[in-house]
Structure 1
């Protein structure tokens, strides 16, 4: 189960189940009108494609992380600026296949997935083994990988509640 405010948002912006029908056409027409045909073929648009990737990545289907990324698809973020800051599943999956930190930490994706960019001088990482979220500054990667950092949220659900809260 996802937090109510996120469920409400996802209901109005659903990820289509497959590449047929009105939901898929709406995504293509409204969100990807400027994309190339090849990009659309490569982009994980449907929930079935998302489920396949999440299972390959070893994500537990009984977690908010799994539920969120099966339902969530990047949209125009003019109404919800936070959407641009968290990676969509395509970016997480690409980093899973070719990790940004692979040179220094070759096994990072055995446990952790980077779920945001480093633009704010830190990134959020999801721990798939314990369903926790960490905030890791540039200089803290060694401490993070050595287990010396504490998670900022002990569940992805709690992270989502905080991340999408209306408080500043």
Structure 2
């Protein structure tokens, strides 16, 4: 499902100008998806366990259950990778997998909707044991940092930290 440079000719590459030597991050694919950035692929390869996804059908079913677009970055990531025990020096929150070994993301998402009464467009990406989590916004593709203690501010649109995309978030999380 991943795009390759020979097929991706729908636009110029995106360039990271924040570095001394600008680097190409990704190129949009003709299907609207972005290719998983090389930097992210390298960070994932350094994680423990077998991170390559073999059972794509379970991911497709989970995406449908959560109403997540198959052309989203979240779908692109989970169709290619399984979250094993990703190590992060940036966060203590543990990322959950969408399908293996269970539907942890669906369970967490149901909890944040039913118990914390968060909007239906938000999907929980982490465990919720610390009364907070990282959320994926289905509408925008952004990742939001949620704390139950700041729920009212969060619902009023005052978020503490957010990332423009899943890939941006994962690079931060794994770096």
Same fold per TM (> 0.5)? yes
8 Å Cα contact 2:143-2:163 kept in structure 1: yes
Distance 1:162 1:67 in 2: 18
Instruction: Provide closer, same or farther for how the CA distance between residues 62 and 163 of structure 1 changes in structure 2, counting only shifts above 3 A.
Output: same
8 Å Cα contact 1:5-1:164 kept in structure 2: no
* CA-based RMSD: 2.8
Give the structure 1 partner of residue 77 of structure 2.
68
The answer for unaligned runs of 5 or more in structure 2 is: 1-34
Deviation string 1:37-91 (CA, Å, 9 cap, x unpaired) is xxxxxxxxx211111210231212222211112222243x3xx424x81111121
Distance 2:170 2:70 in 1: 17
Consecutive aligned runs of 4 or more in structure 1 exceeding 6 Å deviation: none
Give the structure 2 partner of residue 163 of structure 1.
173
Give the structure 2 partner of residue 93 of structure 1.
106
8 Å Cα contact 1:3-1:161 kept in structure 2: no
Task: Point out the structure with the larger helix share.
Answer: 1
Give the structure 2 partner of residue 4 of structure 1.
38
The answer for unaligned runs of 5 or more in structure 1 is: 17-45
User: Counterparts in 2 of 1:1-168, with a 5 A limit?
Assistant: 1-8=35-42, 9=44, 13-16=51-54, 46-75=55-84, 77=85, 80-82=86-88, 85-89=94-98, 90-96=103-109, 98-105=110-117, 108=119, 110-119=120-129, 122-149=132-159, 151-165=161-175
Distance 1:122 1:52 in 2: 26
Task: Point out the structure with the larger strand share.
Answer: 2
Distance 1:120 1:159 in 2: 19
With normalisation by structure 1, the TM-score equals: 0.64
Give the structure 1 partner of residue 4 of structure 2.
none
With normalisation by structure 2, the TM-score equals: 0.62
